[in-house]
Chains A and B, each alone.
Chain A
Amino acid sequence: MRLVIARCQVNYAGRLTAHLPMATRLLLVKSDGSVSVHSDDRAYKPLNWMSPPCWLIEDGNLWIVENKAGEKLVITIDNVVDEIEHDLGAEPGLVKDGVEAHLQELLAEHITTLGDGYSLVRREYPTAIGPVDILARDSEGIAVAVEIKRRGEIDGVEQLTRYLELLNRDPLLAPVQGVFAAQQIKPQARTLAEDRGIRCVTLDYDALRGIEPDEFRLF
């Protein structure tokens, strides 16, 4: 990763043309060859950029970034204020389902959220097509498979349906009931789930975390 702070002017010629007048900006040259031009406001996409694969040719104060479609980003540098280069290493990737994992952990801890007398069998109960988020038993000892989502949509119901079909083949578990638990359940997903005999439960993340809302309440 190379960061250059420079007074520069940028011209882009490609599917559409764009021009950035002379000003001080941050130029990012990433290890994949991509170049992006940032101004000093907002956590936002660059003013101008070229996505990889592309090539940077530095010719004195003229930088030309070109891709194989012939589109060009031409940066004319007036003076370089600062420049640093650092190797960031491999990126582990964005973990989007942090809340989902936490919801699973919390629901396992507070399994009676699903109903009185519920007990936890285990989290990540293995099946041939992947683990079910939670397997529990209700007050009568009937197995309950729980699929947890942040946003409950149709694909989550389909996923749970597949798990239920497999789990119900196990004579030691069957019959297995389904519970679709999410912070928010789409009406289509709710209709589909209920039609398949799957119970829908809306989870209150803050309440599970034990964070009492700041506002006054009657109870």
Chain B
Amino acid sequence: MKIRVERDGLADAVAWVARSLPSRPPVPVLGGVLLDAGAEGGSDALTVSGFDYEVSATVGVPATIADGGRTLVSGRLLADITKALPAQPVEIAVDGARASITCGNARFSLPTMPVEDYPQLPAQPELAGEVTGEAFAQAVSQVAVAAGKDDTLPMLTGMRLEITGSTLTLVATDRFRLAMREFSWQPAEGLGDAAVLAPARTLADAAKSLGAGGGTVRVGLASGDGLLGLAGSGRYTTTRLLDAEFPPYRQLLPSDHTSRAVLQVSALAEAIKRVSLVAERGTQVRLEFADGSLRLSAGGDDEGSAEEELPVDYQGEPVTIAFNPGYLVDGLGALHADRAELTFTTPNRPALIKPADDNGDVVPGYLYLLMPVRLPG
């Protein structure tokens, strides 16, 4: 193999692929990136791939190919090297068991690993639909915030993708909060309704990097093989689906409310962060709603205490309700709106947060359901 490739394209490609590589590969080859020159019938592209049986990542880089071939080198090392190279064309050549990288006056020689031992990359699953990258990345990040991080209940570390005609619904919950986003997309023809559960963290990472490139993201689904594929901006990634039952979440969504408040998101989020400084280990921040004003307080008699008042557009009886400040700030941040609508009934029933427009009307498509915490006494 002997190729010439632009430094920036190569560095971006290798950095992206290396990100999904395992930090502790059980087999050394899984810590490698596969460089494949001229794989697809003599095309002028270098394909960079990584795979650890869970997640695969593949990206093409334009290259001048003098001599095609495949080689496998340590992903982390190659990422560090390409990042540090000067802005000049990079030549990669493989001779025997070593790969040499030349860029300007810098030369590197890396040991290669046997390509034959590398697992077969999974094929891209069949197209399920398309959506703009930006919208997809935003939707996934809005929902991923509520996914569980604890492995005790694997189903809660996942994000559910529900395809119903031209509507794509994303949901995640960690038992304390639930985020749901519905938006329309362009489903592939002849696609039936489907629902799958994908690891939320992997999906969030993939959506963010594919969405950043602009353009559209193509979502592929192979439920039989348990694979979800995402493709966009010349990048392809697949992830293994979670084989777990997602809780029946629709019954959790409250159908009515007795109190409704409309708030400025940034002012409220900042006030919560300030007040919760005295809340030991982020235990709780209390929200006292009264006509026209919201009083935030945290802490108590035995420790420091803090309070702050904000104007609020409030309808309902005066209520005091307490939340985990971290979860509340997460929810407000995920709205991507200047104003928020908060609706609830009693201090021990879940509250619903939705984005609102300048008139205080709800912007449909997103909701964040948050369980309050027990008030002292």
Contact = CB atoms under 8 A, between A and B. Distances in A.
Nearest to B347: A216
A195 interface: yes
B176 A218 contact: yes
Given A188-B24, A202-B152, A204-B152, A214 B176 contact: no
Interface in A4-47: none
B376 to A, nearest CB: 13
A216 B324 CA distance: 11
Contact of A195 (B26, B247, B374): B26
Contacts of B374: 214-216
B166 to A, nearest CB: 29
Contacts of A202: 150-152
Contact of A217 (B150, B152, B371): B371
Nearest to A188: B24
B373 interface: yes
A106 to B, nearest CB: 14
Interface in A185-214: 185, 187-188, 191-192, 194-195, 202-204, 207, 214
Contacts of B84: none
Contact of B373 (A185, A191, A194, A215): A215
Contacts of B372: 216
A202 B157 CA distance: 13
A110 B175 CA distance: 22
B350 interface: yes
Interface centre among A191, A203, A207 (most CB of B within 10 A): A191
Interface residues of A, number: 17
Given A195-B27, A214-B374, A219 B152 contact: no
B173 interface: yes
Given A188-B24, A195-B26, A195-B27, A218 B152 contact: no
Contacts of A217: 175-176, 371
A216 B152 CA distance: 18
B369 interface: yes
Nearest to A216: B371
Interface centre among A192, A202, A216 (most CB of B within 10 A): A216
Contacts of B24: 187-188, 191
B373 A218 contact: no
Contacts of B97: none
A207 B152 CA distance: 10
Nearest to A217: B175
Nearest to B324: A215
B252 interface: yes
Interface in B212-266: 247, 252
Contacts of A204: 152-153
B175 A191 contact: no
B177 interface: yes
B347 to A, nearest CB: 9
B373 A216 contact: yes
Interface string B24-38: 101100000000000
B26 A194 contact: yes
Contacts of A185: 151
A187 B350 CA distance: 35
Contacts of B92: none
Contacts of A219: 175, 247, 252
B26 A192 contact: yes
B178 interface: yes
A185 B150 CA distance: 11
A218 B350 contact: yes
Interface in B87-105: none
Interface string A79-101: 00000000000000000000000
A188 B372 CA distance: 36
A218 B151 contact: no
A216 B348 contact: yes
B36 to A, nearest CB: 26
Interface string B132-173: 000000000000000000111100000000000000000001
Contacts of A216: 348, 371-374
Contacts of B26: 191-192, 194-195
Given A185-B151, A202-B152, A218 B27 contact: no
Nearest to B247: A219
13 contacts: A191-B24, A191-B26, A194-B26, A195-B26, A195-B27, A203-B152, A215-B176, A215-B374, A216-B371, A216-B373, A216-B374, A218-B175, A218-B371
Interface of A: 185, 187-188, 191-192, 194-195, 202-204, 207, 214-219
Given A207-B152, A216-B372, A218-B176, 10 more contacts: A191-B24, A202-B150, A204-B152, A204-B153, A215-B373, A216-B373, A216-B374, A218-B173, A218-B350, A219-B175
Which 8 A-B pairs have CB atoms at the shortest separation, nearest pair first?
Answer: A195-B26, A202-B152, A202-B151, A217-B175, A204-B152, A216-B371, A191-B24, A218-B371
